[in-house]
Amino acid sequence: MRFKFLIILFLFLFITNFAYSHNHYPITRNSVSDILEGKVLYNQNCASCHKANLAGATDWKGLDKDGHRKAPPLNGTGHTWHHDDKTLHAIIKYGLAKLVNNYEGKMIGFGDKLSDKEIDSVLAYIKSFWSKENYEYQLKLN
Ligand code: HEC
């Protein structure tokens, strides 16, 4: 009886631990392999809009011809580093349009293409472009 209880307890702990093992914030730029993985994924999924150098669309503060926002820079010259990791992760996973009511954004979410871990790697890659000051400021938001 007692043994069964222990097994159930163990399974329960294992499952809950597993479910929460994603999304270890803050996301750092300490792991070279994460950054390299993020770079490949970024170039495949994000560079078409945010550009290979992360500088964003030309004149990104203006609107495109359909009246939508253009892709902002992610390299630390925009305001990406003012958001905490949870927010950044959610923007990438769900797209901004799903998060903000009555807002039509062009950036669709990547939740069905990238796993949580892959999104974190892309963020590690993005953070590798930020100045030390921006990076350290943003780490403290988490
Ligand atoms: C079709 C073009 C497009 C693609 C592809 C795209 N984005 Fe975006 N992204 C945008 C636009 C436009 C915005 C501005 C918000 C909006 O209008 O939805 C944005 C906003 C963002 C923001 C918020 C930036 C800020 O400063 O607030 C982040 C972070 C971001 N994108 C990351 C990514 C990542 C990572 C990928 C690839 C996995 C990606 N984007 C792919 C167009 C794109």
Tens digit of each residue's pLDDT, the chain (142 residues): 566 666 665 555 555 444 444 557 999 999 999 999 999 999 999 999 999 999 999 999 998 888 888 999 999 999 999 999 999 999 999 987 776 666 667 888 999 999 999 999 999 999 999 999 999 999 999 9
- CB of 96 within 6 A of ligand 1: the answer is yes
SS3 60: coil
Exposure letters 4-14 (e unless 16+ CB within 10 A, then b): eeeeeeeeeee
C-alpha 50 – ligand 1 centre gap (Å) = 7
Asked whether the beta carbons of 93 and 77 are under 8 A apart, the reply is no
Q: Is 25-140 a domain of CATH 3.40.50.2020?
A: no
- CB of 51 within 6 A of ligand 1: the answer is no
What pTM did the predictor assign?
Answer: 0.85
Give every CB contact of residue 61 below 8 A, 6+ residues apart in sequence. 70
Q: Whose CA is nearest to atom 16 of ligand 1?
A: 105
- CB of 119 within 6 A of ligand 1: the answer is no
- Atom of ligand 1 lying closest to residue 126 CA: 35
d(CA 95, CA 109): 4
Of the candidates 137, 127, 113, 136, which has an alpha carbon nearest to the alpha carbon of residue 31? 127
